Amino acid sequence: MTDVNGLSIAILGGTGDQGKGLARRFALAGHPVLIGSRSAQRAQEAADSIGSGATGDENAAVAARADIVIVAVPYEGHKALLESLRDVLAGKIVVDCVNPLGFDKQGAYALPVEEGSAAQQAAAVLPGSRVVAAFHHVSAVLLMDPAVDKVDLDVLVLGDDREATDLVRALAEAIPGVRGVYGGRLRNAYQIEALTANIISINRRYKAHAGLRITDI
């Protein structure tokens, strides 16, 4: 497994549930964690709530300082934010966990994305970055819960750069209980993002925080 020890991780939109949850687990695993936000003050407050040495600043500032950058903003703000950070993200591994979903009376459903998926949209907007898709199905509730020692799921990691997907698989395994599994090329990210709508339906029906496990590997 690739050595990810000491790599710093910035989280764009790290003030939200998913960003804070991932930040908390990576900070507990000993990674320098930088919370990003549109507001430096909100970022600092979120970092203080996480502890374990996490720091906060505006999205562009944390993106510039980190080895790996996770994108954890709502789909609505995804494209514009990445376009504004194109130069600062060049040469970096950018990990996209964005699920383009709509909600109506029947629950969650997958939205069409012109580029194919949110991850492919990121790759189109960031031609100089190494875009990887991962962490779509991880429950922010479980990541934040101090009573949850182990988060019981496989994280599917997709991308076109083998070194980058190996690194993100190893990073996923910094979260106790998680196994990082290669899930295919970036062009297959749509159904991974869309599958989150099914998982949300499962969670509602069974009052759970369901996760996926891949068998026989």
Ligand X SMILES: NC(=O)c1ccc[n+]([C@@H]2O[C@H](COP(=O)([O-])OP(=O)(O)OC[C@H]3O[C@@H](n4cnc5c(N)ncnc54)[C@H](OP(=O)(O)O)[C@@H]3O)[C@@H](O)[C@H]2O)c1
- Positions that interact with ligand X (CB under 6 A): 13, 15-19, 37-39, 42, 72-77, 81, 97-99, 136, 138-140
Cα-Cα-Cα-Cα dihedral of 8, 11, 12, 14, to 10°? -140
Nearer to ligand X, 77 or 184 (CB): 77
Nearer to ligand X, 15 or 165 (CB): 15
Nearer to ligand X, 4 or 153 (CB): 153
CB 196, CB 210: distance < 8 Å: no
CB of residue 189 vs ligand X: minimum separation in angstroms? 13
CB of residue 72 vs ligand X: minimum separation in angstroms? 4
CB of residue 120 vs ligand X: minimum separation in angstroms? 15
Nearer to ligand X, 101 or 170 (CB): 101
CB of residue 81 vs ligand X: minimum separation in angstroms? 5
Nearer to ligand X, 42 or 179 (CB): 42
CB of residue 160 vs ligand X: minimum separation in angstroms? 21
Nearer to ligand X, 6 or 146 (CB): 146
Ramachandran region of residue 89, left (φ > 0), alpha (ψ -120 to 50) or beta?
alpha
CB of residue 6 vs ligand X: minimum separation in angstroms? 25
Tell me the CA distances in angstroms from 173 to 130, 146, 170, 202, one per residue in order.
Answer: 20, 18, 5, 25
Q: How far is it, in rounded angstroms, from Cα 204 to Cα 210? A: 10
